[in-house]
Amino acid sequence: MRMWCVNPRILCRNHLLGEHLEMHMFAGCILKGKSIKGYIEKGLLEVHKIKTRHDELVSEMLKRGFNHKSPMPKISLWREGFVDINKNLKELSKRCNKCKRTS
């Protein structure tokens, strides 16, 4: 799981939907009291941006004509974590030719 934090417009369908799912998975972990410490320490998550990022992804999904029927649950967020967007752009372009073409 990871929070890419890149402009959602550059994400291919799979990465857009995947990151959306992962925002719900992070929220679920928080609600269940499961540790997300490793994701924070590895620079894969900014806890305080989960809801905002979810909403950004949903906005892009709707622009592309996707349905969205999974609202973000109310969770208590705290300010922790840092995601390096430039590092993620490089990683994304290595992983996905579709995302690479739009970045």
Q: Is residue 48, in this structure, part of any structural domain at all? A: yes
Dihedral angle computed from the Cα positions of residues 53, 57, 62 and 66, in that order, rounded to the nearest 10 degrees: -140
Range of the domain at 25: 8-102
| pTM as predicted | 0.93
Q: What is the pLDDT of residues 48-87, one digit of tens each?
A: 999 999 999 999 999 999 999 999 999 989 999 999 999 9
Q: Is residue 2, in this structure, part of any structural domain at all? A: no
The answer to whether 53 and 3 have CB atoms below 8 angstroms apart is yes
Q: What is the pLDDT of residues 28-56, one digit of tens each?
A: 999 999 999 999 999 999 999 999 999 99
Closest by CA position to 44, among listed 32, 36, 56? 36
- Asked whether residue 102 carries a pLDDT value surpassing 80, the answer given is no
User: Which residue's structure tokens are 């934090």?
Assistant: 5
